[in-house]
Structure 1
Amino acid sequence: MAEPKLSKDVYNVKSDENADSKEHIYLEETFYILSKKKSVFRVRLTSKGLSLIKETDDCSKEQTILLRDIIGSKCMRSKRRRVGARSCICSSFVGHQQLKVVDENSGDLDESDISAYLYIYAYNLKRSRRSFKRERTTITLRFRSYDKYEDNNREAQKWRTTIKCLLVDQPITYTLPYNDKKLLILLNPKSGPGKARELFQTKAAPILQESDTPYDLHVTKYAQYAREFVRTRNVYAWRGIVAVGGDGVLFEILNGMFERLDWQQAFAEVPLAILPCGSGNGLARTICHHYNEPYIPQNLTGLTMALARGKTAHMDVVRVETKSKIMFSFLSVGWGLLSDIDIESERLRAIGGQRFTVWALARLVGLRKYKGVVSYAKIKDVSNLPKPKHPLTISHSVSQDGALDSPEADAFFDCDENSEVFTSAVNGKRHQRVDSWYSVNSRRSAFYSTRGSEYHSVTSSGSEMRSPVHACMHGPASHLPSLMFQLPSHWVHEEGEFVMVYVSYQSYIGEDLLFAPRSHLSDGIMWMLIIKAGISRSQILSLLLGMSQGNHSEINTEHIKMIPVSAFRIVPEGPNGHLTVDGELVEYGPIQAEIFPNIVNLLVPDTK
């Protein structure tokens, strides 16, 4: 077997990218196949990926495993030979495993086999009819150039270490990169049809194991468990927080992080992620959409790979204010038809995402209208928005005429039971203000931290934790006047009867609902869909059906309009109706929201 050749550059003429770009070769070796005379594999590890060229007397076949599709590798050792098995050094294409190989620390090893085996795990993108899917591939390289197992293992470990360094984008060394921080997995077993635990164990856990990604798994025990957990624990002990379930569990995590005094540092250092096991799964579908990752319901492959690779991207959040509380949102705010469908279809949760379709038909038959006032700050040019600095922290004050003053100084306020209530005088009246640093019935926040964490396959006994104090919402301070105050003069106001007002800041609000095709994870834009009363049921049905392709987004008629906004206020009339934030029911009444770009870091697929 040839000695490995290191550190060489070649021109990547076969790449889809610029032909002038160089492809760096890190390792190269030739592997012989003894069962076939004059048949060899030439294997290269390059900056592009793993190139395998199978050469025989009459043909040559090449296969390239892209680096972005490789998830990890492991060195193994032979346990015992099968009787009559072929002696194969390199098994890179489809074929049966010839030897039983196990971890080198296992018992009953085959001491006569001095070979070291390198298993390389990859999930390649394959076209399946009109779409793509990921297909698991295992590359097996057998090293036996030397007379001792230790020497062969050293060569195999060199390949393994180089692959790991490339995957985590670190300089090539002969020491295996190691991150002592685990992922924190918060799993809601009741999300959607209730299959989150099963899906995680069968779909995600094997990939995390192949990538050597350690994690702590905690199963939520009650409503708001995830929220209390991230608020009261030392989140810096983990390298990321993963919500396993629907959008609801991530909503809890997001707001729990904003209830920390150190929210700004926490978001900067601890990225969030989601594995979709719920009914809607809007954010997960959006992430896959933006990063060209195949999205297949109940298939967690691509997003689990993102957890292992560790690439991050910024995401906007929206500050939402009601009469009695504030909260932060990552997906949507709704009033009317879609919110009614979302909340009332809960009784059909067992059937998964199909519940929305079934209930949409029911709500079309009994179509409702809602009176109220919708106000918004319209974005005139969505293609030329200024990029905000990260992180964004703004203080504000409200002047007597309702205009906003926004000095550049940062503001941070503690949550103290002795703090003064923020008040302003408008038209001679004084009103209590619910703001970022103030929450009704607030108390000084107490925080608990743990110096270490245990590895959990299920929630350990005694791990239940409830915060003994009232939470206080922090986060960036609002630009907007209080709900009781007059809005700025440049806002647009629409009053009358509405079938629906729905605002989203993600492309998808469900697995098959492309709500805002022009939206990005971090662009500072909310997309508001207004449907006024007077529209026919057939038009609404056509619009809902068109949402699967985003066909509704360019409609602008007497009854339907789609508007890019930076802030809005909805004031419903009457006591009956549903208001939702990220699919969660909130108190019915006045509500307003504004967007803050680049607040959260998300773990996203690697598209290099």
Structure 2
Amino acid sequence: MADSMFGKDVSKNIEGDSVPKDHVYLEETFYILSKKNSVFRVRLTSKGLSLTKETDGSSKEQTILLRDIIGSKCMRSKRRRHGASSCVCSSLVGPQQLKVVEENSGDLDENDISAYLYIYSYILKRSRRSWKRERTTITLRFRSFDKYEDNNREAQKWRTTIKCLIAGQPITYVPPLNDKKILILLNPKSGPGKARELFQTKVAPILQEAEVPYDLHVTKYAQFAREFVRTRNVYAWRTIVAVGGDGVLFEILNGMFERLDWQQALSEIPLAIIPCGSGNGLARTICHLYNEPYITQNLTGISMALVKNRITPMDVVRIETKTKIMFSFLSVGWGLLSDIDIESERLRAIGGQRFAVWAVARLLGLRRYRGVISYVKIKDVTNLPKPKQPLTLSHSVSQDGALDSPDAEAFIDCDENSEVFSNAVNGKHHQRVDSWYSVNSRRSAFYSTRGSEYHSVTSGGSEMRSPVHACMHGPASHLPSLVSQLPSHWVHEEGEFVMVHVAYQPYIGEDFLFAPRSTLSDGVMWMLIIKAGISRSQLLSFLLGIGQGSHAEINNEYVKMIPVSAFRIVPEGSSGYLTVDGELVEYGPIQAEIFPNVVNLIVPDLK
């Protein structure tokens, strides 16, 4: 029979999470070497990994849900060094003593014919005040046969079945093939400047365990990510991931709309975000809507979404100023919140706390802004179409198959003269990257994800050359030009305002639950108007309540929240800030309209 070694971190089901019986794909009995009369009956079902421990007539069952499993790997035991214990089974008493290596290693223990299957998962567990994910590793030892090849065949059967279930593909016992990498664009200066370190220690280990290959490009200058997705063959990748704040995703989104094939590119290639900035509004929104714990600088849950590859549609907002057209996914601001956002940039090093610190300063020196606000009010938000449920993408369809050929790959993936780090692929070795890989030397192996490459920020002479002048495309506007008169059914408000902020996501920052009723794809923008004359104590109450969203229910002579489908803001004078997704834009007239379901976004599994 097969033997088993279960790490001590295996946890029970989440409280209240019932696991109904489901289709059983594989079943086996494993013995616990360190305990007498104890066996585990392990079943792999479409629900997950079911473990039943039987000891002296009593049994205890637990299930690791499939949505929490990210990958598995087959290993062999490592050769013992001279002077180590001579007992064949001594290394198997506890999981900490087992040493394994990959099958192609030159350090194999030929005397051990066992095949070891490692199953990696991150299980939701309740902490004192909230939920968090805890890394759990299951180790199954297969040694029912007299030859390693036969035992390995059984282990590989389990591994392949797990991979098929994770990918949402039919069970075939042939590993599902998805040779397209994910493209990661990392802004090293986002927020407090820890994006590199966070990716190295939090994201890369999960991608390595899940065997998800990637290309990592570090942005070299402002608008690098925008130029990159506009000028490259993005069909060479299956997902584009922004690592940083909302600003780097703003660049990526607008770079996609500057492509002639924007519609096809956005329909085939989903976008994703790994939050390493100060605001992180979209990432906080995703976790909020999909019941994924959001813990600052803990990127486990949202990194797992890259593995699962579930997508859902997201609305975008077309924005027009006097000189530019752009597309937004988060918010447009004028007045108090925009002042806080822009002026607190000097405190970027302290992260998200900069907003709270600067809010106090702006309350003491409260400003008023005169202008005209016009909007199209949505009369009934209860009858809006429900957002679509997430789908699983198994692959992306290439625009041009010829561009995916090996001959084209070097041009597509690499800047000239850039340094690339990768494991050996097809016998080819690449140079090492700059020194930040060694920040955590024990983590360095995480960058040997099969086929993954890193493109160095310090590369000389590697700036991209844009072959064509950038031109914004995207869905055509339904609004009059910015200087034209608006239709009669629009509502107009003129006077002095403390702020006007329009958001189309629940969160506009980690702690700003701005629009509690909003979803990713509902066709609604929520406009908050605060008029001049409001007292500082009322404003303070508003700022304190925005973390819980209680401000959204306020409706008085100074504060109101309105669902709109389009709006125009015309400020008077030349002093003030206008922001789009937290980015400063030219001060002056601005108008916007929402377009539903234009972008596909990577999200966690539904809970």
User: Shorter-chain TM-score: which interval?
Assistant: 0.7 to 0.9
- Partner of residue 23, structure 1: 22
- Partner of residue 443, structure 2: none
- Partner of residue 535, structure 1: 534
- Partner of residue 605, structure 2: 606
Verify: 1:459 aligned to 2:461, yes or no. no
- Partner of residue 490, structure 1: 489
1:414-472 Cα shifts (integer Å, max 9, x gaps): xxxxxxxxxxxxxxxxxxxxxxxxxxxxxxxxxx9966535433426344213254310
Distance in 1, matches of 2:144 and 2:373, equals 75
- Partner of residue 447, structure 2: none
Verify: 1:584 aligned to 2:583, yes or no. yes
- Provide the aligned C-alpha RMSD in A: 2.3
Contact 1:132/1:294 (CA < 8 Å) preserved in 2? yes
Which sections of structure 2, spanning at least 5 residues, go unmatched?
4-13, 389-407, 415-451
Contact 1:90/1:141 (CA < 8 Å) preserved in 2? no
Q: Which moved more, 1:572-581 or 1:98-107?
A: 98-107
1:316-372 Cα shifts (integer Å, max 9, x gaps): 000000001100000000000000000000100011000000000000000000000
1:507-566 Cα shifts (integer Å, max 9, x gaps): 000001100000000000000000000000010011011011000001100000000000
The alignment-based identity, stated in percent, is 80
Verify: 1:250 aligned to 2:252, yes or no. no
Deviation of the 1:63 alpha carbon: 2.1
**SS of corresponding position for 2:96:** coil
Deviation of the 1:33 alpha carbon: 2.2
User: What is the identity, as a one-letter code, of the residue corresponding to 1:242?
Assistant: V
Distance in 2, matches of 1:382 and 1:66, equals 36
**Which structure 2 residues correspond to residues 421-460 of structure 1 after superposition, within 5 A?**
452-453=412-413, 455-459=452-456
- Partner of residue 83, structure 1: 85
Deviation of the 1:602 alpha carbon: 0.4
Contact 2:33/2:92 (CA < 8 Å) preserved in 1? no
Distance in 1, matches of 2:220 and 2:152, equals 45
- Partner of residue 593, structure 1: 592
**SS of corresponding position for 1:23:** coil
Verify: 1:126 aligned to 2:125, yes or no. yes
Contact 1:118/1:142 (CA < 8 Å) preserved in 2? yes
- Partner of residue 409, structure 1: none
- Partner of residue 376, structure 1: 375
Distance in 1, matches of 2:465 and 2:121, equals 41
Contact 1:144/1:152 (CA < 8 Å) preserved in 2? yes
Distance in 1, matches of 2:21 and 2:60, equals 23
Distance in 2, matches of 1:85 and 1:98, equals 13
- The structure with the largest helix share of the pair is 2
Contact 2:336/2:498 (CA < 8 Å) preserved in 1? yes
Distance in 1, matches of 2:341 and 2:269, equals 31
- Partner of residue 225, structure 1: 224
Contact 2:91/2:97 (CA < 8 Å) preserved in 1? no
Judged with a 3 Å threshold, the aligned counterparts in structure 2 of structure 1 residues 150 and 194 are, in CA distance, closer, same or farther, namely same
Contact 2:238/2:269 (CA < 8 Å) preserved in 1? yes
Contact 2:92/2:98 (CA < 8 Å) preserved in 1? no
Deviation of the 1:88 alpha carbon: 8.5
Distance in 2, matches of 1:304 and 1:388, equals 23
**SS of corresponding position for 2:295:** coil
**Which structure 2 residues correspond to residues 38-437 of structure 1 after superposition, within 5 A?**
38-57=37-56, 59-80=58-79, 83=85, 87=89, 96-385=95-384
Judged with a 3 Å threshold, the aligned counterparts in structure 2 of structure 1 residues 595 and 373 are, in CA distance, closer, same or farther, namely same
Contact 1:305/1:605 (CA < 8 Å) preserved in 2? yes
The count of residues paired between Structure 1 and Structure 2 equals 537
**SS of corresponding position for 1:173:** coil
User: What is the identity, as a one-letter code, of the residue corresponding to 1:364?
Assistant: L
TM-score, reference length from structure 1: 0.85
**SS of corresponding position for 1:595:** strand
Q: Which moved more, 1:27-36 or 1:321-330?
A: 27-36
Contact 1:240/1:273 (CA < 8 Å) preserved in 2? yes
TM-score, reference length from structure 2: 0.85
Distance in 2, matches of 1:535 and 1:15, equals 46
Deviation of the 1:89 alpha carbon: 11
Deviation of the 1:86 alpha carbon: 8.7
Deviation of the 1:58 alpha carbon: 5.1
Which sections of structure 1, spanning at least 5 residues, go unmatched?
4-13, 390-447
**SS of corresponding position for 2:176:** coil
User: What is the identity, as a one-letter code, of the residue corresponding to 1:532?
Assistant: K
- Partner of residue 470, structure 1: 469
Distance in 1, matches of 2:92 and 2:589, equals 67
User: What is the identity, as a one-letter code, of the residue corresponding to 2:207?
Assistant: L
Distance in 2, matches of 1:268 and 1:373, equals 37
- Partner of residue 480, structure 1: 479
1:133-173 Cα shifts (integer Å, max 9, x gaps): 00000000000000000000000000000000000000001
- Partner of residue 403, structure 2: none
**SS of corresponding position for 1:80:** coil
Distance in 1, matches of 2:279 and 2:508, equals 7
Contact 2:374/2:569 (CA < 8 Å) preserved in 1? yes
**SS of corresponding position for 2:23:** strand
User: What is the identity, as a one-letter code, of the residue corresponding to 1:457?
Assistant: Y
Distance in 2, matches of 1:475 and 1:374, equals 25
Deviation of the 1:85 alpha carbon: 7.5
